[in-house]
Structure 1
Amino acid sequence: MVKEGPVPGARERITLPADVVGRAGNLPPHCTRHGRPASRRKDFALQSTVRLRGNRLLSGNVLSQADRLAQHGSKVKVTDVKGWPLCPLCVRTRAVWMTLASALLFGGLLAFLGALVVGAFTEGASWLAAVAAIGFVLLPVSALPLSRGAMSRVIGARTSPDGQSVIVDKPSAAFVADLPQPPTG
């Protein structure tokens, strides 16, 4: 079996200017992760990672949390991406993770609320507490597949801290070869 994707000696990281990825048709016809021909192109927005000052443990009150949210909102940068190439494997991977996240979220919500409603109208149904607890646990667990299905995770890209470029980690050789101009990084 031939391993597709990053090849030995290939670049570990490339940087694409935001104005290039922000216009449809500027990106190669190959997937960044696997190098396969794109079967779909996707428009989305990438957010920069933000480092906040202060200690989360010491700022547990509402006003401190509001300050942290304001800090986050003022520091986060968003880069719009138009027409990013996705191969069938990337499309399928994203669909599987998002379907799993939806099933866990809505299944957990249904189990939790259903157990509460049924328990309100029946007596002696102690097993409903277990159903409600399982549903309650499934709600935050649904965040794990949701993060795995995020576009940035699927394509292996993120935006720079200043929002002026998109950084692609371990791009496929086919993607790099078809770029219109040499990338920096």
Structure 2
Amino acid sequence: MSRQSGVITLPADVVGQPGNLPRHCARHGLPAVRQQDFVLQSKVKVEGNRFLTQSNVIGMGERLSDYGKKVRTADVKGWPLCRKCTSTRALWLAVASVMFFGGLATFVGSLVVATVADDMQWLGGVAFAGFALLPLAAFPFTLGSLPRLTGARTSPDGASVLIENPSDAFAAELPGQ
């Protein structure tokens, strides 16, 4: 484990074994009420300008292939989440679900009603609003994601997990402290 400028580095194989992580939240330092298993992904920058290269399906497929070759993942077993993190995650995922499924129901429902009823042009606006909610649901979904809540990510080589600005209680329980 190494610590530099507010970032703690843990080996990926240590984080991947259950029971190796502290019993306090990395973000708030509060006692954990839940341990969560998930997969962390590294941040990848694909070279080249996507607008200047081939802007067709083949070019997009090539960029996705480059991304897939460079991205690294690390399994995390038993990450501690406090009550604040758990409730924040539940809140944002509930908002995302309401937006997505509400938007889907609004969109489909307005189209069904428009096919049955006559002279209801305002349903086009309702259908558009429902359709617009579908991609907007990604924002609260991201706010409730585990990498954002934990402040952790995989290193570019995939050999370690980087934890940004962990709480003092979390850092004190790590091996080597």
- TM-score when normalising by structure 2: 0.94
Cα deviation 1:75-117 (Å, max 9, x = unaligned): 1111000000000100000010111111101111111111111
Residue matched to 2:114: 119
Within-5 A mapping of 1:64-143 = 64-143=59-138
> What CA distance in whole angstroms lies between the structure 2 residues aligned with 1:113 and 1:57?
34
C-alpha RMSD of matched pairs (Å): 1.2
Shift of 1:16: 0.8
Question: What are the Cα deviations for residues 19-60 of structure 1, in whole angstroms up to 9, with x where unaligned?
Answer: 110000000100000000000000000011111122122332
2:47 to 53, 59, 78: 53
Q: Does 1:32 align with 2:35?
A: no
Greater alpha carbon shift after TM alignment, 81-90 vs 56-65 = 56-65
SS of 1:129's equivalent? helix
1:43 aligns with 2:37: yes
Percent identity over paired residues: 53
Q: How many Å separate the matches in 2 of 1:136 and 1:57?
A: 27
Instruction: Look up the equivalent residue of 1:161 and give its one-letter code.
Output: P
- Tell me if the contact between 1:97 and 1:145 (Cα under 8 Å) persists in the aligned partners: yes
Aligned pair partner of 2:11 in 11, 17, 23? 17
Query: Aligned pairs, how many?
Result: 173
Matched, 1:148 2:152: no
**Structure 1 residue runs of 4 or more that deviate by more than 6 Å after TM superposition:** none
Q: Which runs of 5+ in 2 are unaligned?
A: none
Q: For 1:165, which of 145, 151, 160 is the aligned residue? A: 160
Tell whether the 8 Å contact from 1:105 to 1:138 is kept in structure 2 after alignment.
Answer: yes
The answer to whether structure 1 residue 178 and structure 2 residue 173 are counterparts is yes
Unpaired segments ≥5 residues, structure 1: 1-9
Supply the AA of the counterpart residue of 1:26: N
